[in-house]
Structure 1
Amino acid sequence: MGVEKHKILMVSDFFYPNFGGVENHIYYLSQCLIKLGHKVVVMTHAYKNRVGVRYMTGGLKVYYVPWVPFVMQNTLPTFYGTLPIMRTILIREQISLVHGHQAFSTLCHEALMHARTMGYKVVFTDHSLYGFGDIGSIHMNKVLQFTLADVTQAICVSHTSKENTVLRAGLPPEKVYVIPNAVDTAMFKPAQQRLCTDEIVIIVISRLVYRKGADLLVEVIPEVCRLHPNVHFIIGGDGPKRVRLEEMREKHSLQDRVDMLGAVPHAKVQSVLVTGHIFLNSSLTEAFCIAILEAASCGLLTVSTRVGGVPEVLPDDMVVLAEPDPDDMVRAVTKAIYMLPHIDPQAMHIRMKKLYSWHDVAKRTEIVYERALRCSNQELLERLSRYLACGAWAGKLFCLVMILDFLFWRFLQLWQPDEDIEIVPCLQLTRSNRGDETCDLNDNERSDGVHGRKD
């Protein structure tokens, strides 16, 4: 007996044309779910002139709702402003389940709240790690506790991320599943043949911000260059810490040994990776780190800080881990340099194809959807009891927010009954569920277009 086909709404502030781990996860997961026969619709905010409905590869339909980013690609919290358009999309597309992504997404939190008010099953995927001590993390953890108090099921990208989310949101561990990210191995391939040279190239591709350990790089790079005269660094990325790296290069006269590429479009990341031998990740916190997968798929040996879910990503012979300390990172880079003669990029790429597949991620996500849809519906009073348990004052505030949301939804039902909202015909392309199906897309399929028109 086959798996029942679903109609899924993916919601997040982070999606194409923006590029990052969350954006790629939503895109590739959606494409694979479509290939498995499900209908998938994405809801995100407008990006400049990208407003309205767009169609992407495989018939993936994207609603760019007319909300503009407020800060860091997030929309301004409205609480109830998104309910009318959210309700219309859910009814028009005959959605059966809502899947929100990223704890930092305002649109995700509001969508999950509205969906539960209207009786839909919801799944949430957390892509990040947060602390417990600083003001920002405390605030975000309380918001997450509110959102997940009534979530049907949750997904984390690593076991470390699961522990973090369970502690932050007070979720029962049995409601949280671990499904890792994956990599498009058709896009990230090693070079057919590397140039025979004594030079060792270390690649860094990252946002140059504090969280990504840019300050560590300022101390690590000069010392590595001093110890290994044949090492050359290529740094791709931009951010507020770029100035510090440029000052470091000037101070130590490393202009001929450290190349600063600036921001690298995702489509060109592979062409940068294949020029190197070692990939250096200096993050101070990571739930998973897709960049490591992309580098390993291109045949690079990885040196990374031992933080978050990073130790879970690669086998021990494909990565050298270090504490987020300059001296330990220099030691790890030195160890990686001595390991290079034993690294076969093509063999590493083949292993990555077996270890990480978006098709496997989609199949495992299907199971979570099935379990979420089997959960029983609960009345408003039952749901309010869970919000009330979120804190002496916060619990009462959360209950008030949900009661007002419920009343606003009832008002919208009277103002515009469900039957007055036109149902869209299902034009989404689906493909048969074959055992050998993969979700790797060739370069021609990646362009976003409306009925074949490239933007």
Structure 2
Amino acid sequence: MKKILITTGIFPPDIGGPATYSSILLKELPGFDYNIGVLTYGVKEQASKGLIYVVSNKWPKGIRHLVYFLKVLWLGRGADLILCVDSSFGASFISLLAALILRKKFVVRITGDYAWEQGVQRYGVKELMDEFQRKRYGIFISILRRCQNFVVCRADLVITPSNYLKNTILNWGAKKENIKVIYNAVSATEIKMFKEEARQKLNLSGRIMISAGRLVLWKGFGLLIEIVSGLKKQIPDLKLIIAGDGPERENLDKKTKDLNLENNVLLVGALPKNELAVYMRSADIFVLNTGYEGLSHQLIEAMAMGLPVITTRVGGNTEVVDNQENGILVEYNNKKQLEEAIIRLFMSDELKNKLAEKARDKAALFSRQNMISATVDLLKKYENFIIIKRP
């Protein structure tokens, strides 16, 4: 039985792509004759003896990174493969260093540009991800970039969830033959409730559009609030639900109040999956005005639930949405295009039904079974490779 150490920055009950992905692998891979262990940052309650190992988030950054490194070294001794499913510095770079020392096979899953995300959140970067790739920045971002490039260039294999990200990673110096695309597994929460039942439960009515995601600048939630203000005269009962939390929460609350939209815009915060599913069921359409997506779980989940979707022509979105076939694509932060698309859907039940039906069909391609099968096939292919001694 092959042993795999999965390293990640987050694990359930924490919410996020690496948490979801690592928990799926922990549950599914033992059925394919793999012995799995997981190392994560978190709290001691997440630990499970012999299965899930935790480095406390309470320690200062430098100390917890050192402890994480030492634990990868210790746990990785008996592993055949170290699989890092988190592209953050604290998981991917540290896991690679340990793998190099242990001379272990190392596979990393890259779901975005960590240097860009940190640049936007901490170092004043205003550019979207594509433009960020073409520009130079200060020393801190340069260090993050070098670490990120080092990880993808020294990994034995890089897994990524979209062709868009594959092309981005190629520009970081990784070899084309070492990058494999495996789409995310997305499954809509099963909810045995009709739209009207969901609305009664939530005390909602009118024409409802919903958006969800981390409340960060590049998700474009602010413009959606402005659009509601502009469309109120044409669609008096229009409502916007925004699910999620993040650094922009306070600004979005303020914008809602400044525009007197307290009865039209609901910021419901980060919700457990089953609660979010009720809000999704209550909605007529799903709108994602985002400046960047590697491959959006939330978009595919909305499609799986049969919601007509409007989203932007960026990143991996174009690998999910075929314009006018199973959704509508617009330019990021283009107010006119978004307004026109929203009006079209609210004014045409025929169009809504057509897009919703095709959306379900497309979402079915992003199943857990397909993701696990592709991952196992890849691991089987690479597990017998002899690692060449690294200089």
TM over 0.5: yes
Q: Structure 1 residue 42: deviation in Å? A: 1.1
Give the letter for the 2:80 counterpart: S
Which residue number in structure 1 is paired with residue 372 of structure 2?
A: 362
Structure 1: runs of 5+ lacking an equivalent: 385-455
CA contact (8 A) 2:228 2:264 kept: no
Distance 2:304 2:191 in 1: 6
CA contact (8 A) 1:218 1:244 kept: no
CA contact (8 A) 1:281 1:303 kept: yes
Which residue number in structure 2 is paired with residue 171 of structure 1?
A: 174
Distance 2:270 2:251 in 1: 16
Give the letter for the 1:26 counterpart: S
Q: Structure 1 residue 346: deviation in Å? A: 8.4
Distance 1:128 1:69 in 2: 26
CA contact (8 A) 1:189 1:299 kept: no
Distance 1:310 1:349 in 2: 13
**Structure of higher RCO (CA pairs closer than 8 Å, 6+ residues apart):** 1
SS at match of 1:227: coil
Give the letter for the 2:48 counterpart: R
SS at match of 2:321: coil
Q: Residues 43-62 of structure 1 correspond to what in structure 2 (within 5 A)?
A: 43-47=39-43, 49-50=44-45, 53-54=47-48, 61-62=51-52
Normalized per residue, the structure richer in helix is 2
Q: Structure 1 residue 203: deviation in Å? A: 0.8
2:313 is the counterpart of 1:306: yes
Distance 1:69 1:103 in 2: 21
Which residue number in structure 2 is paired with residue 11 of structure 1?
A: 7
Residues 33 and 153 of structure 1: CA distance in aligned 2, closer, same or farther (over 3 Å): same
Residues 315 and 348 of structure 1: CA distance in aligned 2, closer, same or farther (over 3 Å): same
Q: Residues 91-170 of structure 1 correspond to what in structure 2 (within 5 A)?
A: 91=77, 94-129=78-113, 130=116, 131-132=132-133, 133=135, 134-135=137-138, 137-168=141-172, 170=173
Deviations 1:54-112 (A, max 9, x none): 27xxxx92111245465xxxx53777654432232123xx3211111232241232112
Distance 1:66 1:162 in 2: 33
Which residue number in structure 1 is paired with residue 25 of structure 2?
A: 29
CA contact (8 A) 1:123 1:152 kept: yes
SS at match of 1:309: helix
Distance 1:361 1:69 in 2: 35
SS at match of 2:361: helix
Q: Structure 1 residue 254: deviation in Å? A: 1.9
Distance 2:338 2:80 in 1: 48
CA contact (8 A) 1:15 1:26 kept: yes
Which residue number in structure 2 is paired with residue 184 of structure 1?
A: 187
Give the letter for the 1:144 counterpart: Q
Residues 29 and 350 of structure 1: CA distance in aligned 2, closer, same or farther (over 3 Å): farther
Residues 61 and 338 of structure 1: CA distance in aligned 2, closer, same or farther (over 3 Å): farther
Give the letter for the 1:330 counterpart: E
Q: Residues 19-418 of structure 1 correspond to what in structure 2 (within 5 A)?
A: 19-47=15-43, 49-50=44-45, 53-54=47-48, 61-66=51-56, 68=58, 75-76=61-62, 81-91=67-77, 94-129=78-113, 130=116, 131-132=132-133, 133=135, 134-135=137-138, 137-168=141-172, 170-185=173-188, 187-189=189-191, 191-192=193-194, 194=196, 199-316=206-323, 317-324=325-332, 325-344=334-353, 347=357, 351=361, 354-379=364-389, 383-384=390-391
Give the letter for the 1:85 counterpart: K
TM-score (norm 1): 0.72
SS at match of 1:106: helix
Deviations 1:390-448 (A, max 9, x none): xxxxxxxxxxxxxxxxxxxxxxxxxxxxxxxxxxxxxxxxxxxxxxxxxxxxxxxxxxx
Distance 1:137 1:372 in 2: 33
Give the letter for the 1:176 counterpart: I
- How large is the Cα RMSD of the aligned pairs? 2.8
Which protein is bigger by CA-based radius of gyration?
1
Residues 115 and 68 of structure 1: CA distance in aligned 2, closer, same or farther (over 3 Å): farther
Distance 1:16 1:137 in 2: 29
TM-score (norm 2): 0.83
Distance 1:154 1:144 in 2: 12
Residues 231 and 79 of structure 1: CA distance in aligned 2, closer, same or farther (over 3 Å): closer
CA contact (8 A) 1:303 1:336 kept: no
Which residue number in structure 2 is paired with residue 395 of structure 1?
A: none
CA contact (8 A) 1:204 1:281 kept: yes
SS at match of 1:171: coil
Residues 64 and 272 of structure 1: CA distance in aligned 2, closer, same or farther (over 3 Å): same
Q: Structure 1 residue 234: deviation in Å? A: 1.4
CA contact (8 A) 1:157 1:181 kept: yes
SS at match of 2:158: strand
Q: Structure 1 residue 190: deviation in Å? A: 7.1
Structure 2: runs of 5+ lacking an equivalent: 117-131
Q: Structure 1 residue 144: deviation in Å? A: 1.2
